[in-house]
Structure 1
Amino acid sequence: MKIKLETLQHQTDALAAIDKSFPGMDTMSNDPNANYIYANPLIKYRYNDKANIDIKMETGTGKTYVYTRMMYELHQKYGLFKFVIAVPSPSIKEGTRSFITSDYAKQHFSEFYENTRVQLNVINAGDFSARSGRRNFPAQLSEFVEATRQNTNQIEVLLVNQGMLHSKSMHRDDYDQTLLGGETSPIKAIAATRPVVIIDEPQRFPRGKKFYEDIKAMKPQLIVRFGATFPETTSGRGKNKVTKIDYYGGEPQFNLDAVDSFNQGLVKGIDIDYPDMPEEQASNLYKVKQVKAKELILSQGKKEYSLGVGENLADVDPGFQGDITYAGGTDHELSNGLALAKDMKLIPGTFAQSYQKEIISQALDCHFKAEEENFLRPNSGDNAPKIKTLSLFFIDSISSFRGENSSKGWLAKEFERLLTEKLNRLIGRYEMAIDDREKDYCSFLQATLRSLQSEHQDVYAGYFSEDRGSSDADIQAEVEDILSNKEKLLSFKDKDGNWLTRRFLFSKWTLREGWDNPNVFTIAKLRTSGSEISKIQEVGRGLRLPVDETGHRLNQDEWQSRLSFLIGYDERDFAQKLVGEINDDSPIKLNQEELTDDMIKLIVKAKQKTDPKFEEDQLLDDLDDHNVITRSNKFKENVELDGQMMTGYDALCHLYPELVQETKIAKDKVRDKNSKDSTTVKLRKQNWQQLKNLWLQLAKRQMIKFDPSVNQDAETVARNVFNDGDNKIFVLQRPQVVHQEVVTDENVASVRETQSDYSTEYLTMKYGKFLKILAQQTDLSVNLLNSLMIEAIKRLRNNTNYINEKTLGNLIRTFNNQFNERIKTSYSYEPLKFSASTSIYNAKKQEFVDSVPASVLGVYQSNSTSDEKYLYDRPPLRYDSADPELKILQRSYGPKISVFGKLPKKAIKIPRFDNGTTTPDFIFKIEHGNKPIYLVIETKAENMRLGDEEIRIIQQKYFDHLQESGVYYRMATSEQEVHDLINKLENGELN
């Protein structure tokens, strides 16, 4: 299997933000060293913080991809060729090295940047060791520093971690050789190259601290920081103390925050589990009162207990099992590696081996639940590619895993025992399977069991910092697989067709940052993380969206991926902290007392996505009409809305749910499975059974059949587009600079921004690449495009400068828009002979499912009186919009309505002519003589959304062939319109 990197929209948006923020090149400099061949060309505003750029991207969304591609972009556009990547730790360094040097990354970037390669130079501990009595520079450093810009197709990158950058070796100047003909200090030699410095995990390099001083010592012309978390600065004291995030320029130049990442489906959803405890055992806890290098003081109530180095916690309480002592030292650790801090709480019961075994058993249950779904891929079409499922365990003691004297530790033995039990149980379930995919899974399980029972098993592996010096071949194979063989871990079979069964990984916290694998579906913490690190960072190893066995990265529409995160009882508030941390990343803070300017701006901006004319006055007038706010924008305490009494803030959220959508993580994205709150909605099977005959027809797959004229339409549209009489498509492109100027007008300061060309040279593309991308994005033949381009260039007086990215984008966008507009009615639906499962229906069993995730019915909920005709158990009632959805659901219907309800997302997968699928919103069954009538409704707001008409046409075409079965499809804007439609159908007035 080969991983296939794909260009994702949020990543191209980040690159566009970098391009917009880049200060440009200083082409007017009088610096005599401007053309120094060992250094980057000069950047405007170099060595100044106002030139620097911050890119905020949440964990798991691909910041390594973005900064790697950024280097290619800056090299291609501006000739910059020397970059330093500074990372906090060796593990992050290894992750970055692995990505940049991987074959799949090289192949991906070669498609965009032909003949350009990255020469990665990595500085590791030990590279500066003296040899033969002489102190020499590492070869990697020399190669980076002394590479010249004469090799125009090579980008030089130096990768160094924080500790190495801060070491004496990098700053001393007594080496027995020189660089660049005179430099004897590594850090000064790097500075002479005028590098662009990329900082990964900027919170670990706070300004004003020692590690940032190392960055400054390299004298970077430009710094670009990439991270999910940025350092904080504090000013003032006491009540006047103010803490804010330290961004260059006051805010990130690109901000993909946690809320957007989860709500847009760019990362996995999260389920959180922990073993519960009897109240008596849970209340038996100890607090760390004081922690010193040689003494630990614990307290329980008014009692205090002092432990010196080497003394056992079991002497304080027998519940502390496992021979755990205080190790002390500057790290203030227990012998099991847990770092202690003041006010930490320790529950003896969570240290017991039996407790950890319970977490392991739960983790294996979660693993195999995900593995069965990922391997068998139900409801994903015939022969959907399998997904390899991995699990990651964070443990408290290496000896419990590795053991001593070549014998396995207790944890490894217990893991093997539990795994063997679960494998035997699963094999028993599948060994009589008839389905080919299920037989394949049984073979995979049997191979796993054989390997587990062999002398050199390859089912699970561990990686710990102590492993780096191990001479054990099995250990080194495990480390190599975890750190370097990502594609092997994601593959099911080797080149000889043998199953690759390794999928359970163990570590302490060595893999906490920097390492990632997209197919981690379960993370189990058998120990607390000690310090209060970011909760998103803790789950971060499993947030990436998975890849299937073909290397394709799946989005959330293709496969609903979730991460199971298992923790101890002592961290049972993890879910709330995680949700709080995510929501704290919201662009604004909601105020439930008054309508703030930030809240107004956010609602207006969100509404303008569907209604460009929506303005602030319209919002305020509407809230005033509904008696929601006072003249000073305070929320009123008692507001009557839709027959219910609520606060003004709740009324605002009902009227404008965009406020919550834009600021809060969707409720199902992080689930505390120990919580009593339900995350699924149960179906009322007796009501759905009344739709069974209809669903047997709806379950049949439909194929889009285009009219024979479509190919001719494509050519006609292409000729019209290329015959650009207004000169709006074929345009010239020059590099531009953004100029910002602070101006004052009537005592109000603002920024006025202009753009202007800063070079007389034109930006162009290679013709072959231009044609290739154009053909891929339009599905037109290369021969046709070539002939149309030749005609167009002739019309443009043979000026090949029109072959550029802007022209390419204009051609693709204009052709696709015009072609889709032309063919949106030039097709029909043709039923196929086989059925397909959907979110509501199992086609194989010809049964409706028992329940659906609440999220597929709606983000919001309302407590409402129960109606026996409704398709789901309620309350609460799930909906996505207060008007018209909630009003439709709350309305009372006559006796002829036998069942009604909201259709879950993907309940009926109607293929779209422009790719993807669509599902209508509501269904009603109306009793009408001997033959029932089914009314299917698509709702829309009064101001039609962009694309609503296309959806209406698509859905109308789909349901046309079912009219003989009594199915009527309509689009409605209000609950009154739905009510009128029902009355007409009941009275036989609607054809």
Structure 2
Amino acid sequence: MKIKLETLQHQTDALEAIDKAFPDIDALTNDPNANYVYANPLINYRYSDKANIDIKMETGTGKTYVYTRMMYDLHQKYGLFKFVIAVPSPSIKEGTRNFIESDYVKRHFNEFYENTRVQLNVINAGDFSSRSGRRNFPAQLSEFVEATRQNTNQIEVLLINQGMLHSKSMHRTDYDQTLLGGETSPIKAIAATRPVVIIDEPQRFPRGKKFYADIEALKPQLIVRFGATFPEITTGRGKNKVTKKDYYRGKPQFNLDAVDSFNQGLVKGIDIDYPDIPEEQANNLYKVKQAKAKELILSKGNKEYSLNIGENLADVDPGFEGNITYAGGTDRELSNGLALSKDMKLIPGTFAQNYQDEIISQALDCHFKAEQNNFLRSSSGENAPKIKTLSLFFIDSISSFRGENNSQGWLVKHFEDILTKKLQKLIAQYKSAIDEREREYCSFLQATLSSLRSEHQDVYAGYFSEDRGSSDADIQAEVEDILSNKEKLLSFKDKDGNWLTRRFLFSKWTLREGWDNPNVFTIAKLRSSGSEISKIQEVGRGLRLPVDETGHRLTQDEWQSRLSFLIGYDERDFAQKLVGEINADSPIKLSQEELTDEMIKLIVQVKQKNDPQFNEDQLLDELDAHNIITRSNKFKNNVEFNGQTMTGYDALCQLYPELEQQTKVAQGKVRDKYSQDNTVVKLRKQNWQQLKGLWLQLAKRQMIKFDPSVNQIAEDIARTVFNDPDNKLFVLQRPQMIHQEIVTDSEATIRENQADYNAEYLTMNYGKFLKTLAQQTDLSVNLLNNLIVKAIKRLRNNTKYINEKTLGNLIKNFNKQLNEHIKTLYKYEPLEFSSSTSIYNAKKQEFVDSVPASVLGVYQSNSMSDEKYLYDRPPLRYDSADPELKILNHSYGPKISVFGKLPKQAIKIPRFDSGTTTPDFIFKIEHGDKPIYLVIETKAENMRLGDEEICIIQQKYFDQLKESGVYYQMATSEQEVHDLINKLENGEIN
């Protein structure tokens, strides 16, 4: 399997924000060293915060991808070629190295930046050592510093972790060789290259501290920080003390916060599980009062217990099983590897081996539930590509895994026993399967069990920091697979067709940062991490969206499984803390006491997306009319709203639900085992049965049949496009300079213009140009080649017109004209077989019992129940407050027998431009002997690009069902739907 990187919209948005914030090259400098061959070109506002950029992206959304592509972009546009990537730890450094050097990443970027390569130079501990006794620079440092601009196709990158950057080796000046003809200090030599510095995990490099001082010693012209968390600064004292995030320019230039990441489906949803224990046992807890290097002091109630190094916890309470002693030292650890910190709570029963067995058992149940969903997945009733499912176990002691004296650790023995029983049970379940995919899964399970019983099993593996110095070949092979061989971990079979069964990984928090695999669906913590680290960081290894066996990264609509996170009882408030962290990441802080300026601005900003005329005065007038706020914008108490008495804040949220939608994680994105499950919505079968006759028709698979004239039309359009008499599509491409100036008239505005700067024209390989063009237009290579040859002849045989801009212009112009011509030149033909959808099982010819809440909407409202609605409620699920929520909350007359929102992929109407579409609502209207079915597609008045095409497609599809009483309409408001229903009820529309 080859991973296929895909450019996601939020990553493109981040890159555009960087491009917009980039201060530009200083083209008017008088600096005599501006063209220094070993250094980057000079940047405007260099060496100041005015140049620096912050990019905030939540864990799991691809910041490494963005900053890697940023280097390519800055090199292509501005000639910058020397970058330093500073990371906090060796593990993060290893993850970054693996990403940049992986074949799939190189393949991906070669599509956009042909013939450009990254030369990655990594500085590790020990690189400065020399057997000769001479003090020499590492080769990778010399290569980075002394590379010149003359190699225009190469980007030089130096990757270094903060410990190495802070080391004496980087700062000393007594080396036996020089760099750049005179520099004897590595730091000064790097500074001479005028680098652009990228900081990964900026909270680990706070300004004013030693590690940031090391960054400043590099004298970067520009610093770009990428992270989910940023350092904080505190100003003032006492009552005037204020703590806030420390951002360059006062705010991030791109902000993808945790709320957006979860609500937009850019990361997995999370289920939190933990074993329950009796109340008496739960209350028997000890608190760490002090953990010193040589002494541990525990407290319980008014009593204190002191343990010296080597003394057993069982002497304090027999419930501490497993011969656990205090190891102390700088890490303040127990002998089982658990790091202790002040006020940490220890429950004796959670140290028992059978308790950890329970977590392992639950984790494996979660694993196999996800694995079956991911292996047996189907789409439109057909098998879809499989998804390899991985699980990650964080344990407290390497000896419990590796064992001692070549014997297995107790944890591995227990894990194998539990896993064996679960495999045997599943094999028995699928052994008699008839379905081909189920039989294939049985084969996978049998291969897993066979490997587990073999002398050298390949089902699970471990990675611990201690493994780096191991001479055991098997251990080194495990480590290499976990750290570097991502594609192998994601693949089901090797090149010989044998099953690759490894999918259970063990570590001691070493993999918490810097390691990433998108297909981790279960994380089990067999012991508390011991410190109050970020909860988002703890789940971070499993947040990324998965890839299937073809290497395609999936969206949340394409798969069902969530991340299962298993913890101990002592962390049972984990879900609450995680939700709090996510919500706290919102840049807007909600006040339940008064309507703040920030809250007003947010509501107006969101409302204007659908209603550009909406403004602050309109908002305040409406709140006054409902008696929600005072003149000073304080919320009133005991407000009468929608027949209920509530606080002014609650009334505001009902009137403008957009406020909490933008600032709080949607319910169901993070679920606690013992909290109410809001992620499955039950169907009211008696209401859906009223739609059964219609659904038998909708379940019929449909084929798009184009008019025979389409092929000729496509060729004629291509000839017109490629002829391009105005020469607007075939263009020359150079790197551009953007000039901005502030112009003051009645108000200050920015005037911007672009100009090419003196550089070689950018071109691309003709074969790739032609191949991409054929793939994107579905035209024959021969036809395209003939058209291009004629066009280039017309342009005086100047092959420099073969470039990315020309390619994009031709593809965009051709497809736009073709779609305009063919969007009416096709029809739908029902096929002889039916297909299953999210709402209907075609094999059984019946509706499903329930659907995931996510296919109905990401938000929920506790509105009053209506017996005509298609689902049990409350809560009611929706995607937009206007018009969706208003439509669902409307009171409908007696002629409406059933109504409701259609789930995603409920009908799957084929689109002529690929993919499928489903309308939003359905109403059954009683009308004499023959009912009318009103199908609604809701769109905002200011429709986005492509919305009109969706409506045209759906109109054509439902036109063929008019004889069955189906009426289709696009609506932009709740009132419009209400008017349509009245007209249909009164027979005013045929």
- Calculate the TM-score normalised by the size of structure 2: 0.93
Deviates more, 1:523-532 or 1:421-430: 523-532
Aligned-partner Cα distance in 2 for 1:953–1:972:
13
Aligned-partner Cα distance in 2 for 1:647–1:943:
34
Measured against aligned partners, the alpha-carbon deviations of 1:405-455 in whole angstroms (never above 9, x if no partner) come to: 111111111111111111111101111111111110000000000000111
Letter in 2 for 1:871: L
Aligned-partner Cα distance in 2 for 1:143–1:885:
59
1:493 CA displacement: 0.5
Aligned-partner Cα distance in 2 for 1:173–1:883:
66
Aligned-partner Cα distance in 2 for 1:725–1:881:
46
1:945-960 equivalences in 2 (<5 Å): 948-960=947-959
SS in structure 2 at match of 1:852: strand
1:723 CA displacement: 7.1
1:369 CA displacement: 0.7
1:965/1:581 CA distance change after superposition, 3 Å: same
Aligned-partner Cα distance in 1 for 2:749–2:350:
57
Aligned-partner Cα distance in 2 for 1:197–1:3:
28
1:358 CA displacement: 0.9
1:220 CA displacement: 2.1
SS in structure 1 at match of 2:151: coil
1:19 alignment counterpart: 19
Is 1:838 the counterpart of 2:837? The answer is yes
Aligned-partner Cα distance in 2 for 1:891–1:330:
64
Q: Are the counterparts in 1 of residues 667 and 678 from structure 2 also a CA contact under 8 Å?
A: no
Aligned-partner Cα distance in 2 for 1:40–1:5:
29
1:596 alignment counterpart: 596
Q: Are the counterparts in 2 of residues 740 and 751 from structure 1 also a CA contact under 8 Å?
A: no
Letter in 2 for 1:264: Q
Measured against aligned partners, the alpha-carbon deviations of 1:348-378 in whole angstroms (never above 9, x if no partner) come to: 2222211111111111011111111111113
SS in structure 1 at match of 2:363: helix
Measured against aligned partners, the alpha-carbon deviations of 1:783-842 in whole angstroms (never above 9, x if no partner) come to: 666666677778889888877666655555455444434433332222223332222222
Aligned-partner Cα distance in 1 for 2:353–2:340:
20
Deviates more, 1:793-802 or 1:956-965: 793-802
1:762 CA displacement: 8.1
1:759 alignment counterpart: 757
1:529 alignment counterpart: 529
Deviates more, 1:496-505 or 1:644-653: 644-653
1:252 alignment counterpart: 252
Aligned-partner Cα distance in 2 for 1:729–1:56:
36
1:516 alignment counterpart: 516
1:790/1:477 CA distance change after superposition, 3 Å: closer
Letter in 2 for 1:834: F
1:968 alignment counterpart: 967
2:438 alignment counterpart: 438
1:599/1:708 CA distance change after superposition, 3 Å: farther
Aligned-partner Cα distance in 2 for 1:888–1:189:
66
Deviates more, 1:699-708 or 1:393-402: 699-708
1:216 alignment counterpart: 216
Q: Are the counterparts in 2 of residues 734 and 757 from structure 1 also a CA contact under 8 Å?
A: no
SS in structure 2 at match of 1:51: coil
Deviates more, 1:499-508 or 1:39-48: 39-48
1:776/1:897 CA distance change after superposition, 3 Å: same
Aligned-partner Cα distance in 1 for 2:33–2:985:
86
1:617 CA displacement: 3.6
Aligned-partner Cα distance in 1 for 2:638–2:721:
58
1:107-126 equivalences in 2 (<5 Å): 107-126=107-126
2:913 alignment counterpart: 914
Q: Are the counterparts in 1 of residues 77 and 736 from structure 2 also a CA contact under 8 Å?
A: no
Aligned-partner Cα distance in 2 for 1:432–1:258:
45
Deviates more, 1:672-681 or 1:494-503: 672-681
Aligned-partner Cα distance in 2 for 1:595–1:517:
43
Is 1:378 the counterpart of 2:378? The answer is yes
SS in structure 2 at match of 1:49: coil
1:665/1:204 CA distance change after superposition, 3 Å: same
1:379 CA displacement: 3.8
1:513 CA displacement: 0.4
2:144 alignment counterpart: 144
Q: Are the counterparts in 1 of residues 195 and 221 from structure 2 also a CA contact under 8 Å?
A: yes
Letter in 1 for 2:874: P
1:781-796 equivalences in 2 (<5 Å): none
1:239 CA displacement: 2.1
Measured against aligned partners, the alpha-carbon deviations of 1:758-780 in whole angstroms (never above 9, x if no partner) come to: 83668644373666555544445
2:160 alignment counterpart: 160
1:540-619 equivalences in 2 (<5 Å): 540-619=540-619
Q: Are the counterparts in 1 of residues 273 and 565 from structure 2 also a CA contact under 8 Å?
A: yes
1:195/1:882 CA distance change after superposition, 3 Å: closer
SS in structure 1 at match of 2:548: coil
- Calculate the TM-score normalised by the size of structure 1: 0.93
SS in structure 2 at match of 1:550: coil
Measured against aligned partners, the alpha-carbon deviations of 1:838-868 in whole angstroms (never above 9, x if no partner) come to: 2222233333222222233234444444444
2:313 alignment counterpart: 313
2:105 alignment counterpart: 105
Q: Are the counterparts in 2 of residues 379 and 836 from structure 1 also a CA contact under 8 Å?
A: no
1:652/1:774 CA distance change after superposition, 3 Å: farther
1:903 alignment counterpart: 902
Measured against aligned partners, the alpha-carbon deviations of 1:625-656 in whole angstroms (never above 9, x if no partner) come to: 44444443333435555444444333333333
1:804/1:285 CA distance change after superposition, 3 Å: same
Measured against aligned partners, the alpha-carbon deviations of 1:328-366 in whole angstroms (never above 9, x if no partner) come to: 122222222222222222222222211111111111011
Aligned-partner Cα distance in 2 for 1:761–1:149:
13
Aligned-partner Cα distance in 2 for 1:973–1:151:
56
1:718 CA displacement: 5.1
1:317/1:114 CA distance change after superposition, 3 Å: same
Letter in 1 for 2:959: D
**Is there any run of 5+ residues in structure 2 with no aligned partner, and where?**
none
1:92/1:740 CA distance change after superposition, 3 Å: same
1:3 CA displacement: 0.9
Identity of aligned residues (%): 85
1:745 CA displacement: 9.9
SS in structure 2 at match of 1:119: strand
1:10-89 equivalences in 2 (<5 Å): 10-89=10-89
Q: Are the counterparts in 2 of residues 736 and 755 from structure 1 also a CA contact under 8 Å?
A: no
Letter in 2 for 1:953: I
Measured against aligned partners, the alpha-carbon deviations of 1:602-625 in whole angstroms (never above 9, x if no partner) come to: 233223333344433443444444
Q: Are the counterparts in 1 of residues 373 and 560 from structure 2 also a CA contact under 8 Å?
A: no
1:129 alignment counterpart: 129
1:189 alignment counterpart: 189
Aligned-partner Cα distance in 2 for 1:147–1:237:
49
1:873 alignment counterpart: 872
1:811/1:588 CA distance change after superposition, 3 Å: farther
1:125/1:374 CA distance change after superposition, 3 Å: same
SS in structure 2 at match of 1:901: strand
1:225 alignment counterpart: 225
Measured against aligned partners, the alpha-carbon deviations of 1:214-260 in whole angstroms (never above 9, x if no partner) come to: 22222222222211111111122222221111122111222222222
1:2 CA displacement: 0.9
1:578/1:755 CA distance change after superposition, 3 Å: farther
Aligned-partner Cα distance in 2 for 1:943–1:96:
42
Aligned-partner Cα distance in 1 for 2:242–2:411:
47
1:924 CA displacement: 3.2
Measured against aligned partners, the alpha-carbon deviations of 1:51-98 in whole angstroms (never above 9, x if no partner) come to: 222221211111111222222222222322222221111111111111
Deviates more, 1:517-526 or 1:793-802: 793-802
1:988 CA displacement: 5.8
SS in structure 2 at match of 1:522: strand
Letter in 1 for 2:273: D
1:923 alignment counterpart: 922
Aligned-partner Cα distance in 1 for 2:624–2:724:
50
2:651 alignment counterpart: 651
Q: Are the counterparts in 1 of residues 667 and 860 from structure 2 also a CA contact under 8 Å?
A: no
1:318-333 equivalences in 2 (<5 Å): 318-333=318-333
Q: Are the counterparts in 2 of residues 732 and 762 from structure 1 also a CA contact under 8 Å?
A: no
Q: Are the counterparts in 2 of residues 610 and 945 from structure 1 also a CA contact under 8 Å?
A: no
1:820 alignment counterpart: 819
1:351/1:932 CA distance change after superposition, 3 Å: same
Measured against aligned partners, the alpha-carbon deviations of 1:491-532 in whole angstroms (never above 9, x if no partner) come to: 111111100000000001100000000111111111111211
1:764/1:475 CA distance change after superposition, 3 Å: closer
Letter in 2 for 1:441: Y
1:376-415 equivalences in 2 (<5 Å): 376-379=376-379, 381-415=381-415
Deviates more, 1:975-984 or 1:165-174: 975-984
